[in-house]
Amino acid sequence: MSASGNQAYHLSAWTRARALIRKEGRQMIRDRSTLTLGIILPMILLLLFGFGLSLDVNLVPVGVVRDNSSPVTRDLFTSLRLSPYFAPVMANSMEEAKTLMRDGKINAIVRRELKDRPGGSDSVQIIVNGRDSNQARIMQRYLEGAVARWGALRTESSVNMPDTGPDTGAGAGPLPGRAVAEPRIWYNHAMESRYFLIPGVTVLIMTLIGTLLTALVIAREWERGTYEAMAATPVRPEEILAGKTVPYFVLGMVGLSLCLAAGAWVFAVPMRGSLVLIVAGSALYLVVALGVGLCVSAITRSQFLASQLALVFNFMPTLMMSGFIFDLRSAPWFVYYLAHIFPATWYVELLQTLFMAGNIPQILVRDFCVLAVFAAALLFLARKQIVKSVE
């Protein structure tokens, strides 16, 4: 082939691909359901998860049992009331506190034991509603910390009281040999659950746009009978792949921009890593999601079946097994390894690292490489499934 003929061939290939991209883009814009799924529904998910889903302990109703009129019990009640995590309610007896717990009006009971303890120390009983085991463990730790701080303040106030006796050491500070714990929280010092939920919601949105929408594009052509007409043209499978991918890639990047803007300005989520790496990693995962959707669409040739398969085999694992809500390291070993079969698990780790920890090369290089392998393999499979001949 001559140089001029080769140039004309490449020009015609680009022209065909551009025509398919323009055609798919116009169809996407005219289809209101596509825009709803691609822009409006992701924003609804972002707002629901950002404002509606919270794993934090805030204003938990706690019953404080007042078995007598001791000022120590009132002091404990006041200490809990000053905490932003509890909303204490005074109960006149243990039976009243049990009734409040049974009726769902309180989630925990705090009771100061009346019996004497060695050394004159206080004994405080903590009872937690264990119907939600995860929330119960969090409440237990928060209450134990609050009671420990209250006890430490009482000890310091008693030690620092002025004493007229000679050489008693009163007012000299904490007791000798007393160990004081000074906890530090890294990466999420405010312990706000939305700091790791918002990156996870971003993964859900990218999966929704990339997989569920593209799972319909080729199947729609088969159901409408337009795939046969397209197969009769000189369009190559690579050009069909580009025409079906580029418009939804652009839509996905628009969704990413909205997520990043809402995360920064609405939810005040920190972004300690590079914005360029966040965009690059998101673009790579979006290619992976597009590849999954195109493979499913080309294999099934049915919009209903394609949407169901995309929902079951990609969207649901992204929601349940990607580490979006809970730490996978606390899951059974087989669940941990099974979760890493799905690309979303690596993308969640990448985003949470970039948002909360920063640019950590050991994690980022591994996640980028794994996502690149997924993207290349899925695009290759999608290319194989897009055939020009009609069986």
Do 258 and 180 meet the contact criterion of CB atoms below 8 Å apart? no
Question: What CA–CA distance (Å, rounded) separates 272 from 359?
Answer: 8
Architecture of domain 60-155: 3-Layer(aba) Sandwich (3.40)
Residue 367 pLDDT > 90, yes or no? yes
Residue 305 pLDDT > 80, yes or no? yes
Confidence of residue 181 (pLDDT cuts 50, 70, 90): low
Do 108 and 62 meet the contact criterion of CB atoms below 8 Å apart? yes
Phi, psi torsion values for 147, nearest 5 degrees: -65, -40
Phi, psi torsion values for 196, nearest 5 degrees: -105, -15
CA proximity to 286, closest of 248, 235, 329: 248
By percentage, how much of the chain surpasses pLDDT 70?
85
Question: What CA–CA distance (Å, rounded) separates 379 from 349?
Answer: 23
Helix (H) or strand (E) holding 112: strand 108-112
Q: Give whole-number Cα distances, 268 to 35, 104, 198, in Å.
A: 27, 33, 10
What does the pLDDT read at residue 114?
58
What does the pLDDT read at residue 390?
44
Do 106 and 100 meet the contact criterion of CB atoms below 8 Å apart? yes
The rounded radius of gyration (Å) of the Cα atoms in the chain is 30
What does the pLDDT read at residue 194?
82
The mean pLDDT value for 31-47 works out to 82
Helix (H) or strand (E) holding 65: strand 60-65
Residue 5 pLDDT > 50, yes or no? no
Residue 301 pLDDT > 90, yes or no? no
Residue 340 pLDDT > 50, yes or no? yes
Torsion of CA 353, 188, 131, 114, to 10 degrees: 150
Average pLDDT, the chain: 81
Bridge partners of 128, per DSSP, are 108
**What's the CA angle centered on 326, arms 132 and 368, to 5 degrees?**
175
What does the pLDDT read at residue 224?
81
**Per-residue pLDDT reduced to its tens digit, 209-247:** 889 888 888 888 888 877 777 777 778 888 888 888 999
Residue 167 pLDDT > 60, yes or no? no
Q: Could you tell me the residue ranges of all domains in the chain?
A: 16-53+192-390, 60-155
Q: Number of helices and strands (H, E) in the chain? A: 16, 4
Instruction: Retrieve residue 29's tokens.
Output: 């814009």
